[in-house]
Amino acid sequence: MKNVRLLITLFVLSLIFSCFSANAQKSNENLFGIFNLPIALQSPPSVEKQTVLPSSQIKDIQVFGEQSGLAYTRDTLFRTDTGGATWREIALPQSFSETISTISFSDENIGWAILADEQNAHLEIAKTNDGGNSWTKTPIRLRNEDLSVADFGNIYIGILGNGDLNLSISTMTSSNFAGMIIYKSEDDGRTWKFSQRTVELRRNDDASAEQTAGSWILKTEGKCMGAKTGCVQETKIFDGANEITPSAIKNLARLEKESAQLEAQDSVFAPPPGGSTRISLNRGFDKCTAATVAQMQIWWNTSPFYDSNIYMSGRNRACSQPQLSAAWVDQVSAMGWGLIPTIVGYQAPCSVSTNSQKHSYDTGVAETQGRGEADIAIADATNLGLTQGTVLYYDMERYDETSGTPGCRLAVNAFLKGWTDRLKERGYISGVYGSPTNAVNDWINLPPASRMDAVWLARWDNVPSVWYYGPPSPVVPVNFWSNNQRIKQWQAPHNETWGGVTFNIDGDISDAPVAGVAIAKNKNADFDGDGRTDVSVYRPDTGSWYVLKSSNSAFSAVAFGTNTDVPAPGDYDGDGKTDTAVFRPAEGTWYILT
């Protein structure tokens, strides 16, 4: 228990010292002033404030034998040989900077652990032959080109027998794709050889709040102590109806909830402003398939997230989108969600993806193709109600030019130039999703007038800051995309449960434009005909109108409309009084109360 006690001590000290830390103000000067973007109020934490805290979240469980099993967090491994009645901590040969990526036992005695130093992109494998009492530890050498795209936090180890092992390492992609690197060992993990690297279109993003191992069930539940603040995910292990979670993990969970409660007490919820585009400084997520309106409402009410991407267009869009429509955008935006419209069109000609369409190596053709993708995206955005002034993000997955693919980088720059030029010509804001490596090596070399307005860069280093991308990713120069122009995808795909609804998501943090439609509000109107504007409010969630008449201070309330309607009051009969009216976009119909 020594490691857990140390982590708890560090955690408590971090809470004490955090009380004395001052919040630095960041300038919110708006580069997109031509579009009059409002600024959201909540700022992401700076890199300097990030503190490595002990985690109470159980990553996985494993059962072997009738009474024995394992449970582990990113920090600590626990073992029981009494069916969960008692647990003991298994000491791993990990340094302070290393976390547990994965653990797998082939029987009660023989097991392997993958330990990851995520900030320094370093992996080690540890093996035990005596149930975890002692370990041998060996470095895992990866190719340099794999280090900057590998997800060190979640690695699968395959135990094939006779000393043969496989490592399956997820690679950084958008939620539209699934990337994987395979390494193999034939000498029990002492040496490793690269096998293959793939990026394929993703077809679903099914998620569950439960994991099973034998008779054990690992359950996850999320709760926010305040409105989008003081939020924690809690994991518990059950054997049938009996909870068997290790007591050390329960203690950490209690501390996390107490900290969350304090955070919620000191926070004030600031709802995001409406409008077709605004600057978000909030947490968001991306997932392959748009959720239902009901699910989005639950997550808005119960989760810490403000923004969600939508895969709205593109010849390489993978997941089906049965929910996505103009009505969906209206309803979700009215809740308060900021949207990150994402287009998955042609990919780089040197992309490792084998089942996606790619643009030309010819720079002239590639630029024309980029302009064409912009026109298609604008047409699809318009159909969703996302009109001029909206930001559109193009998904350009990681690409690496080799001796066998000369000219690829120039072709991609030409394509993205065409994309950006055409969007700007038609009054839209250009955004691009991709790798920090490509952004630094290639995109900053685009002519300033043709450079994308905002970038959404993927670096799964678990640091929620757009100003830091963990090594070996290159440093993104501070004079590029520095004025509310960055989103960072900082978390790898994982399941989160809020309000009983589980999504498989990537985690994002924003300091950049996001889209939506103007949240419906009542217009100034003279309902009593006295020539003066009355105080009036329209509440779209209930379809209710509230009016305080200026002529006699009389108050009235009437239910007329639904939560998808747009208020459209006006004097339709010419009697000098404003009539209550709504426009229903889903039907293209106007309704007037007579």
Q: How confident is the model at residue 34 (pLDDT cuts 50, 70, 90)?
A: very low
Q: How confident is the model at residue 521 (pLDDT cuts 50, 70, 90)?
A: low
Cα 236 from chain centroid (whole Å): 24
Give dist(CA 118, CA 423) in Å, integer. 37
> Residue 203 has what pLDDT?
84
Classified as helix, coil or strand, 117 is: strand
Cα 548 from chain centroid (whole Å): 43
Hey, what amino acid is at 64?
A: F
Task: Supply the mean pLDDT for the chain.
Answer: 88
Structure tokens at 475: 């440093």
Whether residue 516 is predicted with pLDDT greater than 90 in this model: the reply is no
Domain boundary residue, one of 239, 258, 277: 258
Q: How confident is the model at residue 576 (pLDDT cuts 50, 70, 90)?
A: confident
Maximum alpha-carbon separation in the chain: 91
Classified as helix, coil or strand, 424 is: helix
Domain boundary residue, one of 258, 287, 318: 258
What are the residues whose beta carbons fall under 8 Å from the beta carbon of 180, sequence distance 6 or more?
168, 169, 170, 171, 197, 198, 199
Could you read off the pLDDT of 263-316 as tens digits, one per residue?
A: 988 777 776 766 678 999 999 999 999 999 999 999 999 999 999 999 999 999
Structure tokens at 196: 């293959």
Residue that the structure tokens 């318009």 belong to: 382
Could you read off the pLDDT of 92-104 as tens digits, one per residue?
A: 999 999 999 999 9
Could you read off the pLDDT of 333-376 as tens digits, one per residue?
A: 988 899 999 999 999 999 999 999 999 999 999 999 999 999 99
Is residue 313 a part of any domain in this protein? no
Query: Could you tell me which residues are beta bridge partners of residue 123?
Result: 116, 140
Is residue 420 a part of any domain in this protein? no
> Residue 17 has what pLDDT?
38
User: Strands, DSSP E only, in 383-478?
Assistant: 391-395, 429-434, 454-458
520-534 b/e (C-beta count within 10 Å ≥ 16 → b)? bebeebbbbeeeeeb
Cis before 472? omega within 30: yes
How many domains, in total, are found in the chain? 2
End-to-end CA distance of the chain: 73
Is residue 490 a part of any domain in this protein? no
Is residue 307 a part of any domain in this protein? no
Could you read off the pLDDT of 408-452 as tens digits, one per residue?
A: 999 999 999 999 999 999 999 999 999 999 999 999 999 999 999
Is residue 463 a part of any domain in this protein? no
Domain boundary residue, one of 258, 275, 291: 258
Classified as helix, coil or strand, 121 is: coil
Give dist(CA 358, CA 345) in Å, integer. 8
Is residue 106 a part of any domain in this protein? yes
Is residue 129 a part of any domain in this protein? yes
Could you read off the pLDDT of 462-478 as tens digits, one per residue?
A: 999 999 999 999 999 99
Is residue 296 a part of any domain in this protein? no
Residue 594: name the closest of 568, 572, 563, 564 by CA. 572
Question: CA torsion 285→291→292→294, rounded to 10°?
Answer: -40
Classified as helix, coil or strand, 480 is: coil
Give dist(CA 556, CA 570) in Å, integer. 17
Could you read off the pLDDT of 144-188 as tens digits, one per residue?
A: 999 989 999 989 999 999 999 999 999 999 999 999 999 999 999
Domain range holding 127? Answer: 2-6+55-258
Half-sphere exposure of 574 (CA within 13 A, CB side): 0
